[in-house]
Amino acid sequence: MNALLLAGGLGTRLRPLTENLPKPMALVANRPWLEHLIIHMKRQGMDRFVIAVKHYSELIRHYFGDGRKWGVHIEYAVEDTPRGTAGAIKNAEALLDDRFIVVNADIIHEIDLPKLVEFHLQHGGGVTIGLTEVEDPTQYGVVNQDMSGRILCFVEKPRLEEAPSRRINAGIYVMEKEVLRYIPDHREVSIERETFPLLIEQEVGIYGQVISGYWADMGTKDRYRKIHWDILNRHLRLGIPGRETGSGIWMGERCRIGKGVLFVPPVLIGDGVQIGDRSVIGPFAVIGDDCKIGSSVRCSETIMWNRCMVNDATQLKNCIFGYDLELGSKQILHEAVVNRTDVMQA
């Protein structure tokens, strides 16, 4: 059984961060989320992957290659035109096993995949959908199930009092390859709006099981921030690079820390980072690899990708910065989200 990772989305709600890269390649704790995902799934016994790529596909292919660096085997299904979620699966059909796992690669999770596969084998249907429960189901397609877990229908964006449950599609599936014959080829197809309703109508056997473990959609800037704060608080037990030098302070290799620097945990500092004298870093600061922070800088509730430069006496709070950004001295920035295409000088 292999796994198909759907990594072709545009990531429009995370722009400008995803202006020049696929959303699953956005850094999460100083590592592309797609890398975290592959490592997590490998630990659960998956070592063969197909990655469905479209936008900036060369970035993913160059970064991962054939997967041998991570001890896995990776193949690629390239979309020449938009295919939608079901169309992307159909496009990868020739590379998939008779039974396979599908994961939307922009969903942050640490779920128990073997448990989901075990449930799939028990019910013997064509598809198992991993489900997650939300407080407010009114903005989602909500699942209506019978006692066995079979999905009877999806109720799209119901009023709260009319919702059959609080369970929604978590973007993780176990599928039998034979169900792909229900997906049209060479056009855009939505798995939620077209394929699943058709499979229910055809009584193929669509089941759902609530997944355990952390689950979050990083599709907005606020959610992206929250995921990082959950990592630093260890609510999400994602691997954090570097060594923990104090309670809630993770430090990478080859760092140069000036005199009088104060770290207010939780803080993650990448490899090769330079921090000038008397700077205050944290709480809730994530500094990427090879960043250079000047003297007397204040940086809190901020995520900074690799190779950024912050000049002296700048104050940053609740900001997100993409790769290679340079900030001038004595700036005060609050809730700024800036990509490398925007260079900010004093």
Residue with tokens 């169900």: 179
Beta bridge partners of 121: none
The number of residues making up the chain comes to 346
> What tokens does 164 get?
């059959």
DSSP readout, 90-108? Answer: HHTGGG--SEEEEEETTEE
Judge whether 157 counts as a catalytic residue: yes
> What tokens does 81 get?
């035109």
At position 222, the amino acid (one-letter code) is D
Q: How far apart are CA 281 and CA 292, in angstroms?
A: 13
Of 157, 177, 226, 292, which one is the catalytic site residue?
157
Q: How far apart are CA 241 and CA 249, in angstroms?
A: 11
Residue with tokens 């690669």: 105
Residue with tokens 């000036």: 258
Q: How would you class 304 by CB atoms within 10 Å of its CB: exposed for 0-12, middle for 13-18, buried for 19 or more?
A: buried
| Cβ burial 105-119 (10 Å sphere, 16+ → b, else e) | bbbbbbbebeebbeb
Q: Indicate which residues carry an active-site annotation.
A: 157
